[in-house]
Structure 1
Amino acid sequence: MTMDSAGRNPTDGNRAGGSSGEGSSADGSPAGGNPFGGGAPAPGSQWYDADAGPLVRPYAMTGGRTKPGPSNVRFDLIALVVVDDDPPGPAEEAVLGPEHRALLALCRSETQSVAELAADADLPVGVVRVLLGDLLESGFVRVSRPVPPAQLPDERILREVIDGLRAL
């Protein structure tokens, strides 16, 4: 092993995981607690900004799930969500997470679409769909789905009905 004039191995600072001694503490970790080196962070700087969004990641809110609970449920963006007429009692609601309770509060004020709930709750639509699946499965909410375009009446028939009404 070759040593320099200070008694150090000159290749130690160049290897991955090695420390050149500059900007490092005695245990080899970067100085100032900054994991990327460069000394102490600037005064007043912080790693989290309120404009960056919530600290809780979406997968933590949904328990890692990406699809709503009941397999046959599909929450379109325009599907309307309303609190059930006979929901479970306050004891059952107390065990819900804060995001579930926030969605319930939004639904109590008025019937809202899935897209509106996501915007008002400031949550991603995918997370809202999973949480609504939980609420639907527990009996807290009802969902009315939009009529598929294939089941809508034909425009020609509607025009004939209007013309017939005008003729009366």
Structure 2
Amino acid sequence: MTDRWPDPDPGPIIRPYTVTRGRTRPAGEGFDLIATVAAIRPAPPDLPPEHLRLLGACRRPITVAEAASRTGLPVGVVRVLLGDLRNAGLLTVHTPPTTIAAPRENLLRDVLSGLRAL
């Protein structure tokens, strides 16, 4: 038996719950995957590395899903870290509207009639 690690380049070995200190939800309101986040202030030097990486990815407005993709962090971790950054006043969040206007009944009837005609 050898004591060598089986993979020569295992990547990061830090577990997600370690990065978030065991938290699974962001402080305050949650983040929708399509919410847009953007850094509004420079990062203080004492931020943990994952927060710095995430804030760097948010220099320009991006969605939460895109922030997770760019940083390589799981979406759940990104949401928790974004909550920290929001509470520290380092980024802004724009949530898309949740209400969508329902189509008019006449339009639905016309579509249904067109489908029946096929």
TM-score by length of 2: 0.78
After TM superposition, the runs of 4+ consecutive aligned structure 1 residues lying more than 2 A away are: 45-50, 151-156
Q: Distance in 2 between matches of 1:112 and 1:121?
A: 12
- Partners of 2:35 and 2:56 in 1: CA distance: 17
State the structure with bigger RCO (CA 8 A, min sep 6), 1 or 2: 2
SS in 1 for 2:38: strand
After the TM superposition, which residues 1-168 of structure 1 pair with which residues of structure 2 at under 5 Å, given as runs? 40-41=1-2, 46-50=5-9, 52-70=10-28, 73-84=29-40, 87=41, 93-108=44-59, 110-148=60-98, 151-156=99-104
CA distance in 2 between counterparts of 1:97 and 1:133 reads 14
User: Aligned partners of 1:49 and 1:62: how far apart in 2?
Assistant: 27
Count of equivalent residues: 106
Residue 48 of structure 1, CA deviation: 4.2
Query: Aligned equivalents of 2:7 and 2:16: distance in 1?
Result: 17
Unaligned runs of 5+ in 2: 108-118
Letter in 2 for 1:96: L
Where does residue 166 of structure 1 map in the other structure? none
- Compare CA radii of gyration and give the structure with the larger one: 1
2:18, 2:92 → 1: CA distance?
25
Measure the CA separation in 1 of the matches of 2:37 and 2:11: 25
Deviation at 1:69, TM superposition (A): 1.4
Give 5+ residue unaligned stretches, structure 1.
1-39, 160-168
Distance 1:48 1:140, change over 3 A: same
Q: CA deviation at 1:146?
A: 1.4
Q: How many percent identity over aligned positions? A: 43
Q: Calculate the TM-score normalised by the size of structure 1.
A: 0.57
Determine helix, strand or coil for the equivalent of 1:127.
helix
Question: How far apart are 1:46 and its partner, in Å?
Answer: 2.2
